[in-house]
A and B are shown apart, each in its own frame.
Chain A
Amino acid sequence: MDPLILSRIQFGANISFHILFPAITIALGWVLLFFKLRYNASGDSAWMHAYFTWVKVFALSFAMGVVSGVTMSFQFGTNWPGYMKTVGNIAGPLLAYEILTAFFLEAAFLGIMLFGFRRVSNRIHTLATVLVAGSTTVSAFWIIALNSWMQTPAGFEMRDGVAHAVSWWAIVFNPSMPYRLVHMLLASGLTVSFLIAGLSALRYLYGDRSESMWKALRTGVFTAAILIPIQIFAGDQHGLNTLAHQPQKIAAMEANWNTGPNVPLVLFALPDEAAKENRFEIAIPDGASLVLRHSTGGVVPGLNDYPGNHPPVFPVFWGFRVMVGTGILMLIVSWSAAWFLWRRHSLPKPLAIIMVPMTISGWLATLAGWYTTEIGRQPWLVTGVLKTADAVGPVAGSHVALTLAVYLMLYVLLLIAYLGVLAHLALKAAKDGDTSPLPGVMNAALSQPAAGE
């Protein structure tokens, strides 16, 4: 068995599993802060109930993210030793800063968020929430900086086959970094808003009409409705940036074979790399030229310009379409729900039923987008610097196959358990409504009663 293919599948599986959880924690931290600030301002304990329902989801997602993240940090060494050997001088400091500036802060103050409500003053508890939310975002900043650098490297020079840093500013703020960061942060925001909206809709369907359910539902729906158009705009800008820096990726996303003007926007096709053409193509004439160049005569790069040097077309093309399709669905569902909540102060049952499976729509879009951009970088691991095939380690294929099989099994079981617990938490919250006791140290008074109590 080929260790390269197996190692790639294994890393793909690990990072796919891992990213699901940061996608939740990055934005959920800020939503928790919003709940906490609303509680501080109003003294309405329903906000605190919403906080404690969702801080559990945060803790669970954080734990899943940490354990899968530890796996990733080991995998650089076990499966991809060539990566750190070649670009360790660049990747190293970025990873180190992630651990130093963000990871510890999150882990230390999460304990206070979860269990410290009655142990520390209300102000310190709020501060802990701020620190956790801030540090998840800082963490994302460093990781996205590294990932963007791998896509569009800058600020370095090669000496004896090893990358050396020349300008840290250019490395961190490389050409695609701001676009990627904004796109990812918004993706996290959407993932969380649909998660909250979807699970609140589930509570609603189970007859829960408590204040904390309504507060969470409205927060999720309105956040989604506001973020989705911003995300569509940011995604378009990100696409233009990719066109400028990674044209072969755009060619694969559009399944466009020949460079030229008047390129159609392909809605459906089965790209065939051997024949260099699309089968069963349905397309809008001049569409791709219009979207990418804002003119029907705009020249769009084609795959035939990059023989042997472009990513596999099928997964990139379809990854992109699944992401965009999910995004459109998100727009329709969130705007409909927002309209009903705003104008009618109610949620029709059919819409609530649609929102339940939409709970994981953010995951679907994030993964599809992630595949588009990461597979779209192939055959390079670091564009123009290091090929994926040159980074793989000297491990026996059978070992990689064995570990891959166990990881896959573990991940599937954990995902089922995770979703099961989410559903269980939602149903338990639906049963308890606003009546469950607030956590902390039993029988101790809130250290600082909020206003109005």
Chain B
Amino acid sequence: MTFDWPTALPLIFAGLMGLAILIYVVLDGFDLGIGILFAAAGDAEQDTMIAAIGPFWDANETWLVLAVGLLLVAFPMAHGTILTALYLPVFVLLVGLILRGVAFDFRAKVPAGKKHRWNRIFFLGSATASLAQGYMLGVYVLGLDVGLGGMAFGALVALCLSAAYAAMGAAWLIYKTEDDLQKKAVRWLRTALVLTALGMIAVSLATPFASPRIFDKWFVWPQILYLSPLPILSALLFLWLWRQTFDLPKPDDRHAIRPFLALTAIFTLGFAGLAWSFYPYVVPDKLTIWQAASAPESLAIILAGTVVVLPVIIFYSFYAYRVFSGKATDLTYD
């Protein structure tokens, strides 16, 4: 087999875009989740929760910009098709992200009396953005079906993805906080896990039945054997995490990062399943990644930059996380 750039480039970019989406979902997932959990937290707790994401959220959100940017630049046809079909949910997502982002900054800078209002807006923005992302995922999974069935399924996934984000947020809090808030986060995690599992089951079942093509990719021998680790591992991780919630936090706060890592693994497995289902389509059953791709010479010039820059981005992102490692309680904002 000869190596063929026009064939390989769209594939590489589909991989990069997938990676950017996955990193976004994990990283901004915990930011959004903490926003959702704001509804259940007290004033002082909210300050600590913000401190737990303060230095990171800007960079986390940037992965969405990269993911949409890659869709835009590498698959311009798909970008137009998907986003015009999802016009209103995209709009709701954007309003949510705008409100979340500005409330984050405003709440720390306004006079004390107005802080409450911005805390509520922070919750509303985070919840709206999460719901919109889940809804878009649901509609996309059903092949951009915007009929009644698609909307109902979208609503279900919206709820479950928001719960999954809340679980990520709770897991991050277990890692970054201590004492009462940490114990509270454990309880939040337990509740959110149930809905997260439900959502993953719903999407896993709906996807193959929405499209005979996807059905054939999963439920045929021997594929079903190769793919079986995905659901089995996910289920095991869920069970392990569920049991963990009964004896966290551990003495000396050992292994506080583990729930977060377990959830990240679950997200990754689910994402791999979705990627397998939709490959080689970028618009389900309509446009393949090759049909939607930009010209090879344009992709090549982006790739040249990406290969150099992406490792650097990952390196300094790690650095930023290291600088602000440790418990979040002692970070001040004035």
Contacts and interface: CB of A to CB of B under 8 A. Distances in A.
Interface stretch (B89-97, B179-187, B244-252): B89-97
Nearest to A404: B91
A72 to B, nearest CB: 10
A62 B58 contact: yes
Contacts of B265: none
B62 A109 contact: no
A435 interface: no
B198 interface: no
B61 A112 contact: no
Interface in B91-112: 91, 94-95, 97-99, 101-102, 104-106, 109-111
Contacts of B102: 60, 63-64, 67, 414, 417-418
Contacts of B320: 108-109, 111-112
A78 interface: yes
B91 A108 contact: no
A100 B91 contact: no
A99 B69 contact: yes
A81 B87 CA distance: 12
A408 interface: no
A75 to B, nearest CB: 9
B152 interface: no
A251 to B, nearest CB: 34
Nearest to B104: A63
A101 B69 CA distance: 13
Contacts of A403: 87-88, 91
A216 interface: no
B80 A85 contact: yes
A448 B306 CA distance: 36
B149 interface: no
B330 A442 contact: yes
Interface size band for A: 35 or more
Contact of A74 (B56, B58, B68, B106): B68
B76 interface: yes
Nearest to B69: A99
A217 B77 CA distance: 50
Interface string B133-176: 00000000000000000000000000000000000000000000
Identify the interface centre among B73, B294, B297, B316: most chain A CB within 10 Å of its CB.
B73
Identify the interface centre among B55, B102, B306: most chain A CB within 10 Å of its CB.
B102
B295 A164 contact: yes
Contact of B65 (A62, A90, A103, A417): A103
A77 B301 contact: no
B154 to A, nearest CB: 17
A220 to B, nearest CB: 20
Interface in A310-364: none
Contacts of A308: none
Contact of A395 (B62, B87, B301, B313): B87
B309 interface: yes
Contacts of A60: 102, 105-106, 109
A97 interface: yes
B323 A112 contact: yes
Interface stretch (A113-121, A176-184, A196-204): A113-121
Contact of A115 (B95, B110, B331): B331
Nearest to B61: A66
Identify the interface centre among A84, A93, A96, A417: most chain B CB within 10 Å of its CB.
A96
Given A88-B298, A92-B73, A410-B99, 18 more contacts: A63-B105, A64-B102, A74-B83, A77-B71, A85-B80, A92-B294, A95-B73, A97-B305, A99-B65, A100-B306, A103-B65, A105-B313, A108-B317, A111-B54, A111-B324, A164-B297, A399-B88, A403-B88
Task: Give the 9 A-B CB pairs with smallest separation, nearest first.
Answer: A81-B80, A92-B73, A77-B83, A111-B55, A88-B76, A84-B76, A107-B59, A107-B58, A67-B101
6 contacts: A69-B65, A70-B97, A84-B76, A92-B298, A111-B54, A111-B320
